[in-house]
């Protein structure tokens, strides 16, 4: 899955070309442009250039690279189209000027390359948002990547004033936040969702919020399963939420009894709460691994507070990897006024953010992760 960012678009005229343009892709912009030229000839008209970023962002991708696309139309096709429309091509419509601009954008993108020494070869207006990122708790290396990404996404002349520079960094931050929307429910099968994570991270509260969220959005009937038999209070906590929301509830203490509860519970979506333990508790992690193997949940959300230190977040995710979490719920964003921790978290953990918990109130302090909203939180 990729996200498309338009780097450059012809200023006018392209609307009339619907269905006539062709797209050419490459690992770099110039490769895509070369392919376009090979197919359409030197006289092509370029309508737009785009970058496709893998859903895991530029901050945490291993090996996977982004790719580029040039949208263009052959000169002859363009002329013919114009004559059919009886419209004279004008300077203000598509023309060679556009191609020149594309060439310039391409060479600027490429000249910047990945050389960190060229970091400051970016418009000085980016300095203030860069410093703000550092102030909000983003590590230097990730702040640098964000600023370089912001510069690479815009033409330098569009980054001269403060407002454009902040907007570019805001967009770059959003580009760096990989999220995944709420689950699509299959009416023919139960969807099983599990939360895992360290002690006190906010698993049970987030599960209750998620249950309410799914109920409010009419996503299907919801049932809750607690497998924290060590602590009566933990079972009661989830049972209370189940009663308030009028949902079926079961408590189970082994992988098999959880599986039985999942099989017999009448609900479209079953949310499983797991007990919290520290990431160094090997016995507990072994039991969780067995649970994951037996249940094979459709979604496993690792729950971590925003303020988890970078090293701690990495250690926790490494240890909880036995549960194969594929999503991240970030909690306790209200406990800090600096939200840069999101960046380090997504950069360190190869997970998509699913939900964000913003306080203790159930269910309202919770939202489905959205890159723009998280970027706005980070950038104040
Ligand atoms: N400020 C704040 N507090 C939260 C948030 N989410 C959870 N809490 C609080 O954190 C405490 C622990 O929450 P739980 O949901 O019980 O955490 P847990 O991960 O289930 O804990 P264990 O089951 O003991 O591992 C409770 O007091 C919650 O109200 C949040 O987003 N913001
Ligand atoms: Mg709990």
Out of 127, 153, 176, pick the residue that ends a domain: 176
Between the CA of 199 and the centroid of ligand 1 the distance, in Å, is 9
Residue 181 lies in a domain: no
In the prediction, which pLDDT does 378 show?
95
State the number of CA atoms in the 13 A half-sphere of 213 facing the CB.
Answer: 23
298 part of a folded domain: yes
Contact criterion met (CB below 8 Å) for 146 and 133: yes
CA of 233 from ligand 2 middle (Å) equals 9
What CATH number is attached to the domain comprising 265? 3.40.50.300
Residue 184 in any domain: the answer is no
Could you tell me if 20 and 148 lie in one domain? no
Judge whether 182 lies within some domain.
Answer: no
Query: Among 85, 112, 139, which residue terminates a domain?
Result: 112
Is 217 inside any structural domain?
Answer: yes
Residues 313 and 365 both lie in one domain: yes
* Long-range Cβ contact pairs of 263-266 (< 8 A, separation 24 or more): 265/223, 265/225, 266/221, 266/223
Residues 108 and 124 in one domain: no
Shared domain for 210 and 350, answered yes or no, is yes
Is the same domain home to 205 and 318?
Answer: yes
pLDDT at 113: 47
Whether 334 lines ligand 1, by a CB cut-off of 6 Å, is yes
**Local confidence pLDDT in tens for the 380 residues of the chain:** 566 777 777 655 555 666 778 899 988 888 888 898 898 888 788 888 888 877 666 776 665 677 889 888 887 777 776 666 554 444 434 445 556 666 666 665 555 544 333 445 778 888 889 889 989 999 888 988 899 889 888 888 888 898 999 999 999 999 999 999 776 777 778 999 999 999 999 999 999 999 999 999 888 899 999 997 667 788 899 999 999 999 999 999 889 999 999 999 999 999 999 998 787 888 888 888 999 999 999 999 999 999 887 778 888 888 888 889 999 999 999 999 899 999 988 888 888 999 999 999 999 999 999 999 999 999 98
346 shares a domain with 331: yes
Residue 292 within a domain: yes
Is residue 284 within 6 Å of ligand 1 at its C-beta? no
Joined together, the tokens standing for residue 3 give 């996200």
Does 34 lie in the same domain as 71? yes
pLDDT at residue 253, rounded to an integer: 87
Q: Which position has the token pair 């719920």?
A: 329
Instruction: Assess if residue 254 is contained within a domain.
Output: yes
Does residue 21 line the site of ligand 1, with CB under 6 A?
Answer: no
Kindly report the protein residue whose alpha carbon is nearest to atom 29 of ligand 1.
Answer: 360
Token digits of residue 129:
């948002």
Predicted pLDDT of residue 105 = 60
Same domain, 86 and 148: no
**What pLDDT, on a 0 to 100 scale, did the predictor assign at position 21?**
84
Structural domain count, the chain: 3
CA distances from 91 to 10, 11, 12, 96, 292 (A): 12, 11, 10, 9, 63
Residue 26 belongs to some domain of the structure: yes
Q: Is 205 in the pocket of ligand 1 (CB under 6 A)?
A: yes
Q: Which domain holds residue 272?
A: 191-378
For residues 155 and 209, membership in a common domain is answered with no
* Best residue for ligand 1 mutational test, from 195, 196, 197, 200 (most atoms within 8 Å of Cβ): 200
Judgement on whether residues 292 and 354 belong to the same structural domain of the protein: yes
Report DSSP state, residue 184: P
- What is the position in ligand 1's atom list of the atom closest to the CA of 276? 25
The per-residue pLDDT for 92 is 38
The domain boundary, picked from 112, 137, 160, lies at 112
User: Do 144 and 266 fall within a single domain?
Assistant: no
Q: Quick check: CB of 359 below 6 Å from ligand 1?
A: yes
Whether ligand 1 lies within 6 angstroms of the CB of 43 is answered as no
Among 213, 360, 361, which is best to mutate for testing ligand 1, by the most ligand atoms less than 8 A from CB? 360
Compute the residue count for the chain: 380
Q: Which of 107, 122, 94 is nearest to 9 (CA)?
A: 94
For residue 54, what are its two tokens? 């893998």
Ligand positioned closest to the Cα atom of 276: 1
pLDDT at 317: 85
> Within this chain, do residues 233 and 155 fall inside the same structural domain, yes or no?
no
């Amino acid at each position: 899955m990729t996200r498309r960012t338009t780097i450059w678009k012809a200023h006018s005229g392209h609307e009339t070309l619907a269905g006539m343009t062709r797209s050419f892709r490459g690992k770099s912009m110039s490769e895509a442009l070369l392919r376009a030229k090979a197919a359409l000839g030197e006289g092509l008209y370029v309508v737009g250039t785009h970058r496709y970023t893998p859903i895991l962002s530029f901050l945490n991708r291993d090996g996977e690279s982004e790719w580029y696309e040039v949208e263009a139309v052959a000169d002859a096709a363009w002329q013919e189209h114009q004559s059919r429309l009886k419209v004279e091509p004008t300077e203000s419509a598509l023309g060679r000027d556009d191609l020149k601009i594309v060439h310039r954008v391409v060479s600027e993108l490429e000249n910047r390359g990945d050389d960190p020494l060229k970091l400051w070869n970016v418009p000085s207006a980016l300095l203030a948002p860069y410093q703000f990122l550092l102030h909000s708790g983003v590590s230097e290396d990730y702040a640098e990547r964000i600023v370089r990404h912001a510069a690479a996404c815009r033409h330098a002349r569009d980054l001269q004033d403060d407002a454009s520079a902040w907007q570019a960094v805001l967009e770059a931050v959003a580009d760096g936040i990989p999220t995944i929307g709420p689950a699509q429910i299959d009416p023919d099968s139960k969807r099983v969702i599990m939360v895992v994570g360290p002690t006190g991270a906010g698993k049970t509260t987030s599960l209750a919020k998620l249950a309410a969220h799914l109920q409010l959005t009419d996503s299907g009937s919801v049932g809750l399963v607690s497998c924290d038999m060590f602590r009566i209070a933990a079972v009661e906590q989830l049972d209370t939420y189940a009663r308030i929301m009028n949902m079926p509830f079961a408590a189970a203490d082994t992988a098999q009894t959880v599986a039985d509860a999942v099989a017999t519970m009448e609900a479209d979506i079953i949310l499983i709460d797991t007990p919290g333990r520290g990431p160094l508790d090997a016995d507990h992690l072994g039991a969780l691994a067995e649970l994951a193997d037996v249940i094979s949940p459709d979604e496993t959300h690792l729950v971590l507070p925003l303020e988890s230190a970078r090293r701690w977040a990495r250690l926790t995710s490494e240890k909880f990897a036995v549960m194969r979490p594929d999503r991240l719920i970030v909690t306790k964003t209200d406990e800090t006024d600096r939200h840069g921790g999101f960046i380090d978290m997504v950069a360190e953990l190869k997970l998509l953010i699913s939900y964000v918990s913003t306080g203790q109130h159930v269910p309202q302090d919770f939202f489905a992760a959205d890159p723009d909203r998280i970027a706005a939180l980070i950038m104040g």
